[in-house]
């Protein structure tokens, strides 16, 4: 993947009017602003999760 993923909807109001959020230090990586509800939010990938086993239930 050569480019970062872009959010499609605001996590607060669901609107699609999103823009990269810039601070006094410049553009923040993963920081977005919603022009509909005037909120700013930060996205961060936490990591990959292992796939769930398929088939019969595995006893724990």
pLDDT tens digits along 6-46: 899 999 999 999 999 987 766 667 899 999 999 999 988 88
Token pair for 46: 């936490």
List residues bridging with 18 in a β-sheet. Answer: 34
**DSSP of 1-59, one letter per residue?**
--S----SS-TTT----EEEEEETTEEEEEEEEETTTTEEEE-------PPPP-SSPPP
The pLDDT value recorded for residue 1 is: 40
Q: How far is CA 20 from the centre of its chain?
A: 12
């Amino acid at each position: 993947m050569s480019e970062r993923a872009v959010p499609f909807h605001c996590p607060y109001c669901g609107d699609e009017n999103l823009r990269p959020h810039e601070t006094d230090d410049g553009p923040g990586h993963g920081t977005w602003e919603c022009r509909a509800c005037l909120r700013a939010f930060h996205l961060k990938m936490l990591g990959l999760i292992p796939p769930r086993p398929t088939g019969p239930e595995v006893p724990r």
